[in-house]
Structure formats: C-alpha cells, structure tokens
A and B are shown apart, each in its own frame.
Chain A
Amino acid sequence: MDNTNWQDAGAVDGLPEDDVACVEIQGREIALYTVGTAVFATDNICTHGHARLCDGFLEGHEIECPLHQGRFDVRDGKALCAPLTENVRSYPVRIEAGRVLVRMDSLDSINS
C-alpha cells in the first residue's frame, strides 16, 4: 500500500530563479530552493540559531543562514560548516504538471 504523502507546494513558475522561498505545508515552514531547473526542499528554520533559511543566501547548492553564516547543502540538508552541528531535515521533491510536490512523510518513512 502506498502510504506516501505528497503535498502540493504551488506552481513551479511561482518560484524565484536560483533563490530560496518559503511555503507552509501542513503547518510546517518549508524552504524551497531552485538551482537551475531543479527544486529542493528543507525545513525553513536553521538548526543552529533559529533563523529562517529563506532569509538567507543561496549559492549553488548551498544555503547560507543570514544570522551566523552556517551553510547547508540544500540537496540533502547536510550541515557544511561551523557553527552548525546538526543537519536540517530535507524532503523529496518532484515536479508534476507544473506543480511542485513535496513528500511530507514522517522522517522515519522518508529515511527507510
């Protein structure tokens, strides 16, 4: 049985080019990143200083937090440098018929 939970996060045309935007899905703030034609999604709140990553600066596949310049890889949420000590949660994304779909399963089922 397919228990995956794909949620519509809006039109892909609505996203800024090579930048970051924030959407709310099921009560959770999600940052969406466009890198060329690819779209990635992570939690929007930094794991370090509780800042919003959508206020940060996207360079290639790296998002720099506006508060303390910690950087995450937007593809997998990996923390890349100090002061970060914890990865940010990332979500699978798929584009279908011009819509951005984000898979919002529980963390366990995403990782399995």
Chain B
Amino acid sequence: MHERPTVFPDKAEWTAGGTSRIPFLAYTDDVLYRQELERFFYKNHWCYVGLEAEIPNPGDFKRTVVGERSVIMVRDTHGEIHVVENVCAHRGVSFCRERHGNRKEFVCPYHQWSYALNGDLQGVPFRRGVKQDGKVLGGMPADFNVREHGLTRLNVAQRGGVVFASFDPCMESFEDFLGPTILSYFDRQFDGRKLTLLGYNRQRVPGNWKLMQENIKDPYHPGLLHTWFVTFGLWRADNKSELKMDAHHRHAAMISTRGNERKQSEVSQVGSFKSSMQLEDPRFLDIVPEPWWGGPTAVMTTIFPSVILQQQVNSVSTRHIQPAGHGCFDFVWTHFGYEDDSEEMTQRRLRQANLFGPAGFVSADDGEVIELSQRGFEQKPFHRTVVELGGRDIADTDHMVTETLIRGMYDYWRTVMEA
C-alpha cells in the first residue's frame, strides 16, 4: 500500500516527539497564529516598541505595533515615556496615522475626543449638551466619568535607551524576562551611552513571523546563503562562535569572533563565490574594532517574540518583527549609533548598514528565502521541516554547526502553546 497523506490535517503533529521536526501547520494555521498573538505578543512577554532617541522631545511620538495592535510611544511634557493603544475609547477609531510627529495632545478626527499624551481622556465635545433657546439639549449622562474612558495604557520597561511594552499588567521585570545571560549581551550593546538615530529600513516579508526569529537562530546559513559574506571574508565556518540561550530557550545570542586574516582558501569549508571579486568601494568593509565589543565581532540577539538586536561589526540596529497574518510580517530596522561616535564612525556605521535591510548585500537573501519557505509550507501543510543539525537535543554550544537554537525556541513554543 502506498501512503496517501491527508494534505490538510486538522492539527499540527510533532512526529519526532521533541522539536526537531516542525510541522508546516505551525506556519500556516490561522487558529494557531491567533493563539500566538494572544500568548506571546499580548500576554506574558515584553515586546519591543522603539528607542528613546526616536522621541527626544516632549510631545514627540512614534506609531508602531505590539503584535498586530497599533500603539503610540510618546514622551509627555514631563519627559516620561508612555505607550498607549491607537484606538479611540469612543468609537474605536485608530486615530493616529502619522508614523512620527509632535503633539500637545491626541485628538480623534471623528468626534474630537481629546486625550492627554499619557492617554487620559481630556475632552468630550458636547459632553454637557448644546445650549439652544435657553435650554440645554443632549450631552452625556451625568454619571459619565472621563477617568473610565482613557486610551488603553501599556506597561512600559526601559533599559539602556530601549523601550519595551506589554498589554499584560502583571509582567515580570524586563531583567527577569531576559534572564542573566541574555541580559549581559543586551547590556553589552546598550551600555548606558545615549543612542543616536541613524535611520530606518522597512520591508514586508510574505512569510510567517517565526521564520525571522529562526533565521537569526540559524548560524550556519550565512556561509551557504549569503555568498557576499563569504566572498568578502565576513563569515567563515571556523569563526570562533558560541550560542547561548535563556533558561526558557526563548531568547538567544549568537556570538562570533572573526578569525585572523588567514587566507580564505586555506580555511574555508564553504566554497567562495568568485574569490577574485573586489568591492568597488572597499569602505563598506572598513571595520574598526570598538572597546565595547569586548572581543566578539558579531552578536545577534533574538528577544522572543518581537525583536532582533544586531551587532555586525560596526553596524548596530534593532530589527522589529511586526506580524500581519500567519503568512506575512513587516520587518522594521532601526539603525543607530552612540553619542560619543565621531563623524567618521557615524559614516562607517551608515556605510556598513548597506549590508542590511530589504536591499542589503546580505539581508535581501533572507527575505527571499523566507518567502520561498512559506510557499513550500502553504502547498504542503501536512509536512514538516527537519532541524536536526547538531543533534535533536537543546543546549548551548561553542560552535555554529547546529540548529539547537531553533529547537530551543520550539521547545518554548510548545510549552506555551500546548499549556
């Protein structure tokens, strides 16, 4: 008898018992997707919203999202940062359309309900009715209490100039959420120096949001997919590397240090794409080691579920994952620098940022393979991926030839989703 699989199964099966075979349904099922929003983005997790440097002045705001919910990160007149939901308390209008701006207050265009920058409802037109011929007509009921009708305010955590928020009022501290190991890499990159904003890249990737987390938990694809990296010596399979996770296996850091300048042909285990190629402008790789690195030349940190923190030599950025349905997400890169950067260093960071973003020499590849992965999942939802490089278990490693971080993330995913 030939096996005739059901193409559209009712439920995701984890055939190998652990998490080394991930069912395609985990990327294509709308019910699972909504459950992910509920359990990862709206409860129990701190989600990235932005950098303090994006809203330096009182009244400055930035519109962004937590999961799929539109929120506004805003600095009030006292300098305090608030995150409020972009939904009017009256008729549910998502009233803010600008990405960035400066306001004294928020006013919904529909009926002009007006809110203070911290989300408190301030004014309701015709609350006390309209005067006509000596009488007052209409208005809100006498027991209408403005205090009960503010914007939804999120819990806010700030550290090192980075702002996280949560709809969940009962959150553990941000520090506990990261755990000591990942926190140490967070603090390495956000060490208290003021950040400077260099600019943004945005792209819409037609793939499941988890694929972006997996991409940065997969340290062995760069040498195979990103021929640019190999060609110009930024990646080698023998680079000294470590992979570390938090106790839940949800966050991770990929830490690598470029080897000495040995000739690439002597050590590479991956074929170089035309080793004779030269950059037209070698300044893209004008790398200058910085004291704060403390050794590693690249640390990529995945904070589950919402953000990736990038240090790739002199290029530093946050990459915000903004899910939009099971098969799509927006990916927003915020490139930054530090207050003590020289003008030369700022230019260097900007030039190296050309490796990243939707048209980057390296990152363009990732967006494309994620799209192609999603296509495969959609056409064959009964199937599963294989992530067994380095074994089937989950543990920190001192090399990069492993998919242990992906197995770790799905270990956490199963713990939360199957609870």
Contact = CB atoms under 8 A, between A and B. Distances in A.
B105 interface: yes
A8 interface: no
A83 B122 contact: yes
B93 interface: no
B122 to A, nearest CB: 5
Interface stretch (B124-132, B200-208, B256-264, B380-388): B124-132
Given A82-B116, A83-B104, A85-B104, A68 B131 contact: no
A66 B128 contact: yes
Nearest to B116: A82
Contacts of A57: 128
Interface residues of B, number: 15
Interface in A66-104: 66-70, 82-83, 85
Contacts of B127: 66, 69
A29 interface: no
Contacts of B334: none
B123 interface: yes
A83 B126 contact: no
A55 interface: yes
Nearest to A20: B131
Nearest to B134: A16
Given A55-B130, A55-B131, A66-B130, A83 B125 contact: no
A69 B116 contact: no
A44 to B, nearest CB: 14
A43 interface: no
Contacts of A65: 123
Interface string B103-125: 01101000010101000001111
A62 interface: no
A24 B105 CA distance: 31
B126 A66 contact: yes
A69 B122 contact: yes
A64 B116 CA distance: 17
Contacts of B105: 82-83
Contacts of B116: 82-83
B84 to A, nearest CB: 16
A108 B62 CA distance: 40
Nearest to B106: A83
A51 B124 CA distance: 13
Interface string A15-44: 000000000000000000000000000000
B128 A64 contact: yes
A96 to B, nearest CB: 28
A34 to B, nearest CB: 15
A92 B130 CA distance: 28
By DSSP majority rule, is chain A's interface helix, strand, loop, or mixed?
A: loop
A14 to B, nearest CB: 14
A73 to B, nearest CB: 18
A57 B107 CA distance: 22
A60 interface: no
Interface in A42-58: 49, 51, 55, 57
Interface in B81-106: 104-105
A83 B127 CA distance: 15
Given A49-B114, A55-B130, A83-B114, A68 B125 contact: yes
Interface string B195-230: 000000000000000000000000000000000000
A83 B123 contact: yes
Nearest to A51: B125
Contact of A49 (B112, B128, B130): B112
A54 to B, nearest CB: 8
A66 B125 CA distance: 6
Contacts of A66: 125-128, 130-131
Contacts of A67: 112, 123, 125-126
Interface of A: 49, 51, 55, 57, 64-70, 82-83, 85
Given A66-B127, A67-B126, A68-B124, 14 more contacts: A49-B107, A49-B123, A49-B125, A66-B128, A67-B123, A68-B123, A69-B122, A69-B127, A70-B123, A82-B116, A82-B122, A83-B104, A83-B114, A85-B104
27 contacts: A49-B107, A49-B114, A49-B123, A49-B125, A55-B130, A57-B128, A64-B128, A65-B123, A66-B127, A66-B128, A66-B131, A67-B112, A67-B126, A68-B114, A68-B123, A68-B125, A69-B122, A69-B123, A82-B105, A82-B116, A82-B122, A83-B105, A83-B114, A83-B116, A83-B122, A83-B123, A85-B104
